[in-house]
Amino acid sequence: MIDPIVFDSSVLVDQFRTNCYAERIDALAGSVCYSAVVLSELWRGARSAEEKGVLESFAQRGPVLTPREQDWLESGQILAAIRKRRGFEPAKMRDLHFDLLIALTAHAYGARLITSNRADFELIHEYRRFRLEVW
């Protein structure tokens, strides 16, 4: 895989709704991959046949990157450290868990993670370095 790229759900949702990243996406050099965690998040919110069709096309284009056992275990350790330092409520911790799994999976595959969710991914980046690009 040449320079793998993973989009966070924030970028994919904004692109689908407003087409605001079309030029940036077209200008990317690399191989677009999809995170199984991101696809799961998007399926959870998909309502229309059009949205479901877009998600099916993402999975078919692949590859779909999945978290490894090590990523799951490390995510719990990092979340415990974040909770201790920040004292976030359980709902925030659940949201961070998905983002953390996306980041750890991207890291495991050497992928660049592109997101518009600056706050959460920069927080995660403090605990685990990965290739992060914020749009």
Domain boundaries along the sequence of the chain: 4-134
User: Which residues fall within 8 angstroms of residue 17, CB to CB, at 6 or more apart?
Assistant: none
What is the pLDDT at residue 29? 92
CATH number of 4-134: 3.40.50.1010
Q: What's the whole-number mean pLDDT along residues 103-127? A: 98
Q: What is the pLDDT of residues 51-98, one digit of tens each?
A: 999 899 988 887 999 999 999 999 999 999 999 999 999 999 999 999
What is the pLDDT at residue 116? 97
Q: What is the pLDDT of residues 22-64, one digit of tens each?
A: 999 999 999 999 999 999 999 999 999 999 998 999 888 879 9
Both structure tokens of 61: 């284009």
Q: Which of 15, 42, 17, 13 is nearest to 28 (CA)?
A: 15
- With 80 as the cut, is the pLDDT of residue 1 above it? no
